[in-house]
C-alpha cells in the first residue's frame, strides 16, 4: 500500500493564480483532511470530509475549496492564491473517527 | 486558536536521558493523540489515549492523561539521536477532526 499520496510535492504560484492539490489514499479510509502548517507552528485544519459525499469547514477555510471526488480522493483548490497561503499542506485520512490519522508527505507551496 | 499547547517549545538533551513534554488543552475531549514529525516530513502517529485512561505505554513511550487538569505528558525514555523531531499533541476539539498544538522541538545530542 502507498498510504496517503499527495501531488505535487512543490509548487510556486504568482498572486492570483489558481491550482489544485491532489490527495489520494489506498487504505479504504472513510474520513479525509486537509491541513496547513506554517513555519514553527502546528497544523491547522482547513477542510475535512467525514465520509464520501460530505465536506465541512475547519479552522481556516477562507480562500480554499475542496472536493471529495470519491472515497479515495480529496482535492484542495486555491481559486486565487495569495502570499498568506504560502505554507506546507498536508493531507490525512482515518478509517473511523477518532482513530489514528495517517499523513501524506506534504506539498510545499510558495505564493509570490 | 490552538486547542492543545505543548510545553516546552524546545528541549535539548543528551542521548540516554529521558525527555518529557507536556500538553494542555481547553475543552472536554474523547481522546488525545501524540504525533511525531521529522524535519520536512509528514506526521507519524505515536500513541492514542482515551479520556477514561490515565496512562498508556508503547515501547519507550509513556503517556499520561489528567482530564481534571486538562493536561497530558509524553515521556520518552533512554532517548536516541533518532528521536530528534517535533512532537505534537492533538485533541478532538468538538468536531470530527483533530486540533493540533504548536509542538515541542526535541533535539537529542549524540
In chain A, the percentage of residues whose pLDDT exceeds 90 is 88
Comparing alpha-carbon positions, the chain A residue that sits nearest to B29 is A98
Q: Which ranges of chain B does DSSP label H, i.e. alpha helix? A: none
Report the pLDDT value the prediction gives residue B1, as an integer from 0 to 100: 42
CA atoms within 13 A on the CB side of A1: 11
- B89 near B37, Cβ under 8 Å? no
B58-88, pLDDT tens digit by residue? 999 999 999 999 999 999 999 999 999 999 9
The answer for residues whose C-beta is within 8 angstroms of residue B59's C-beta and 6 or more apart is none
Task: For residue B8, give how far its alpha carbon lies from the nearest alpha carbon of chain A (Å).
Answer: 13
Report the pLDDT value the prediction gives residue A71, as an integer from 0 to 100: 96
CB-nearest partner of B97 from A42, A48, A100: A48
Banded model confidence at residue B27, pLDDT cuts 50, 70, 90: confident
Report the pLDDT value the prediction gives residue B76, as an integer from 0 to 100: 98
A8-62, pLDDT tens digit by residue? 999 999 999 999 999 999 999 999 999 999 987 889 999 999 999 999 999 999 9
A chain contacts of residue B42, beta-carbon cutoff 8 Å:
4, 90, 103-106
d(CA B54, CA B67): 8
Best mutation target, A61, A98, A100, A105, to test chain B (most B CBs within 10 A): A98
Q: What is the DSSP letter of A96?
A: S
Amino acid at each position: 500500500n502507498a498510504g496517503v499520496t499527495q501531488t505535487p510535492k512543490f509548487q510556486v504560484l504568482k498572486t492570483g493564480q489558481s491550482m489544485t492539490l491532489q490527495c489520494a489514499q489506498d487504505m479504504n479510509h472513510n474520513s479525509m483532511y486537509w491541513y496547513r502548517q506554517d513555519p514553527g507552528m502546528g497544523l491547522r485544519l482547513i477542510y475535512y470530509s467525514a465520509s464520501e459525499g460530505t465536506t465541512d469547514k475547519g479552522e481556516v477555510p477562507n480562500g480554499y475549496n475542496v472536493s471529495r471526488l470519491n472515497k479515495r480522493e480529496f482535492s484542495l483548490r486555491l481559486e486565487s492564491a495569495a502570499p498568506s497561503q504560502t505554507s506546507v499542506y498536508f493531507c490525512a485520512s482515518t478509517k473511523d473517527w477518532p482513530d489514528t490519522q495517517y499523513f501524506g508527505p506534504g506539498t510545499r507551496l510558495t505564493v509570490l | 486558536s490552538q486547542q492543545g499547547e505543548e510545553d516546552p517549545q524546545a528541549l535539548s538533551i543528551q542521548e540516554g536521558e529521558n525527555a518529557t513534554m507536556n500538553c494542555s488543552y481547553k475543552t472536554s475531549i474523547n481522546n488525545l493523540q501524540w504525533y511525531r514529525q521529522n524535519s520536512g516530513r509528514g506526521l507519524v502517529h505515536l500513541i492514542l489515549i482515551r479520556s477514561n485512561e490515565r496512562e498508556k505505554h508503547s515501547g519507550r513511550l509513556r503517556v499520561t492523561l489528567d482530564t481534571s487538569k486538562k493536561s497530558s505528558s509524553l515521556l520518552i525514555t533512554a532517548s536516541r539521536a533518532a528521536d530528534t523531531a517535533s512532537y505534537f499533541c492533538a485533541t478532538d476539539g468538538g468536531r470530527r477532526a483533530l486540533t493540533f498544538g504548536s509542538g515541542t522541538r526535541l533535539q537529542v545530542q549524540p
